[in-house]
């Protein structure tokens, strides 16, 4: 019950237009300062996820924070992507041709990483922190991740979701064991977090929403 707070309009309300502008201003960040992210800020990001709704109130979402082990995890991930890429290129079909460029990219990323691990980090971009979200339900993990991203931006940090990592971690025992993923859970997202090295001064356009009114 210590989590329960009485409603206070000044502390609990936010103007709709301000919220929408905050969301519009969100940008994916892949350039980070050489500066660690404070543990208190990471904890606050996870706190935003902890209070996100889950199906049947399962509260089944878990978080693995990686800071000291980023280099080891990076090596495992690139090794996995290289293996996946080699398999894809050796088994191309008309249906998988669209993914050929990813397979070639993963092999190139691995080779460049071996040449210069720090300069050629095209996976985590030398960010100082990762938060890997795992859950029994993909929907629960994705909802939590969305709130985490909002809190990340509110704290003056930048982030991007690494889809490459999620692909590399699928059914990869080395990576799952390294993260300590619990039985029955799967990797849903990998948030790469750090202080932005770039500053944007405007929002970006988007396609019109695809809406069907019934």
- What CATH homologous superfamily does 29-194 map to? NADH Oxidase (3.40.109.10)
H-helix or E-strand spanning residue 173: helix 173-179
Q: Where exactly are the structural domains of the chain?
A: 29-194
Among residues 152, 169, 162, 180, which one has the least CA distance to residue 38? Answer: 152
- Distances from the Cα of 69 to the Cα of 23, 113, 177, angstroms: 31, 17, 13
User: Cα separation of 125 and 30, whole Å?
Assistant: 6
Among residues 173, 92, 158, 166, which one has the least CA distance to residue 123? Answer: 166
Encoded tokens for 114: 């071996």
Are the CB atoms for 166 and 189 separated by under 8 Å? Answer: yes
* pLDDT tens, per residue, the chain with 214 residues: 888 989 999 889 999 999 999 999 999 999 999 999 999 999 999 999 999 999 999 999 999 999 999 999 999 999 999 999 999 999 999 888 999 999 999 999 999 999 998 888 999 999 999 999 999 999 999 999 999 999 999 999 999 999 999 999 999 999 999 999 999 999 999 999 999 999 999 999 999 999 999 9
């Amino acid at each position: 019950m210590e989590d329960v707070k009485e409603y206070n309009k000044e502390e609990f309300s936010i103007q709709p237009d301000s919220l929408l502008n905050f969301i519009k201003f969100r940008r994916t960040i892949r350039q980070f300062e050489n500066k660690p992210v404070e543990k208190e800020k990471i904890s606050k990001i996870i706190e935003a996820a902890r209070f996100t709704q889950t199906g049947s109130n399962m509260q089944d979402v878990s978080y693995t924070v990686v800071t000291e082990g980023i280099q080891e995890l990076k090596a495992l991930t690139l090794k996995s992507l290289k293996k996946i890429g080699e398999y894809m290129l050796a088994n191309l079909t008309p249906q998988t041709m669209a993914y050929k460029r990813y397979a070639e990219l993963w092999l190139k990323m691995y080779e460049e990483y071996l040449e210069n691990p720090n300069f050629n980090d095209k996976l985590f971009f030398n960010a100082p922190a990762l938060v890997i979200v795992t859950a029994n339900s993909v929907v629960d993990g994705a909802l939590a991740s969305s709130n985490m991203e909002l809190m990340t931006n509110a704290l003056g940090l930048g982030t991007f979701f690494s889809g490459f990592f999620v692909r590399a971690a699928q059914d990869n025992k080395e990576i799952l064991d390294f993260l300590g993923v619990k039985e029955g859970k799967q990797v849903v997202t990998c948030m790469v977090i750090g202080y932005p090295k770039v500053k944007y001064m405007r929002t970006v356009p988007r396609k019109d929403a695809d809406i069907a009114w019934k």
